[in-house]
Amino acid sequence: MLAMRSLPDPPAPAAALPPALPPAGTTVGETGEFELLALLTPRLPQGPDVVVGPGDDAAQVRASAGGLLVATDVLVDGRHFRRDWASAVDIGHRAAAQSLSDINAMGGRATAVTVGLATPADVEVAWLVDLSDGIASECASVGASVVGGDLTRSEVLTVSVTALGTLDGPGVAAGLRSGARPGDVVALCGRQGWASAGLAVLSRGFRSPRAVVEAYRRPDVPYGAGAEALEAGATALIDVSDGLVADLGHVARASGVRIDLSSAALTVDEPLRAVGAAVGVDPLSFVLGGGDDHPLAATFPPQTELPARWSVVGTVSDGGLEGAPGGPEVTVDGAAYQGAPGFRHF
């Protein structure tokens, strides 16, 4: 039997300072592709999971015996973000958080990220440097490194982030959407509805309440909650990115069950109530149908002692609405939800 070769230790971080930025107002087109990469790459510190970082045809990242987790999200200017609504740093945080949250939802630990950036030539270099810094900062918050990517010219600014992760511990299986069972409870970890309320405010030309606007600009992801849930015995896990009703619908369909949410168990924070009153909508709709906060939802066997950050918000059964086959996969207080369940691209 051939002996396994151990991976070499990662290279020591470079001590050199990043190159000075060009004069304010300098665009990507005036700078050039490789010159821009030379500005950005030294700003991306490499962690201990990285064996080979940026600079070669591919990066090399350590992986556990349980395999590698991979998640990709794409953000398009004018569709997923607006540069007049958020800073480049905030957009960078948000872009990274979307993919990192997917690793979290599998119960994994993110180790590395690659970034695909398609940009018009007239975007300023300083804006892209701030975007890169935001991505790197969000990754650093979970111990992940930006290990490479691709840069190309496009008419529409587009950011694609692929996150790599690992499952720590022997024999740990990833949390899936397909394990919910009748009798389980549904639990939520993280705030929900804040980003949706922030979007409602920004869409009407306002900037307050500031708390929900900031929540839309930069999500507060409950990192580590997926691993907590698996350790506690979670049977199914999902990142709530598009809407609570919509995303729990994925769990219900994958598991062949029905899910009922309790409106009384859902938290409708005061800023959401203020926005609801101002724009004339039920604030509960932000919680049920809003996206972009990236809390985690999970199902647990009954009587499970939940981790401190988790709270029960519903139940799992094997019957539809009033026991009828073909009823809605997710109900609220036992009835079909009449509002928008979440965001859909098409």
Please list, in sequence order, all residues whose beta carbon lies within 8 angstroms of the beta carbon of residue 233, skipping any fewer than 6 positions away: 300, 301, 304
The Cβ of residue 330 has, within 10 Å, a number of other Cβ atoms equal to 24
Which is nearest to 96 in space by CA: 247, 230, 294, 309? 294
Buried (b) or exposed (e) across 203-242, using 16+ Cβ within 10 A? eeeeeebebbbbbbbbbebbbbbbbbbbebebbbbbbbbb
CB contact at 8 A, 103 and 163: yes
Please list, in sequence order, all residues whose beta carbon lies within 8 angstroms of the beta carbon of residue 337, skipping any fewer than 6 positions away: 245, 288, 328, 330, 331
**Quick check: bond before 209 cis, omega within 30?**
yes
pLDDT of residue 7: 47
Q: How far is CA 108 from the centre of its chain?
A: 13
Instruction: Give the residues across from 113 on adjacent strands.
Output: 146, 163
Over its length of 346 residues, how does the chain's per-residue pLDDT go in tens digits?
A: 333 344 455 454 444 567 888 888 899 898 988 888 888 888 888 888 888 888 888 888 887 777 789 999 999 999 999 999 999 999 999 999 999 999 999 999 999 999 999 999 999 999 999 999 999 999 999 999 999 999 999 999 999 999 999 987 666 688 999 999 999 999 999 999 999 999 999 999 998 899 999 999 999 999 999 999 999 999 999 999 999 999 999 999 999 999 999 999 999 999 999 999 999 999 999 999 999 999 999 999 999 999 999 999 999 998 654 444 556 799 999 999 999 999 887 7
Tell me how long the chain is: 346
Instruction: Give the residues across from 185 on adjacent strands.
Output: 300, 315
Token pair of 81 as six digits: 């973000």
Instruction: Give the residues across from 126 on adjacent strands.
Output: none
CB contact at 8 A, 108 and 165: yes
AA letter at 126: A
DSSP 193: S
3-state secondary structure 38-70: HHHHHHCCCCCCEEECECECCCEECCECCEEEE
Structural domains of the chain, ranges and CATH numbers in brackets:
28-38+67-166 (3.30.1330.10), 185-336 (3.90.650.10)
AA letter at 327: G
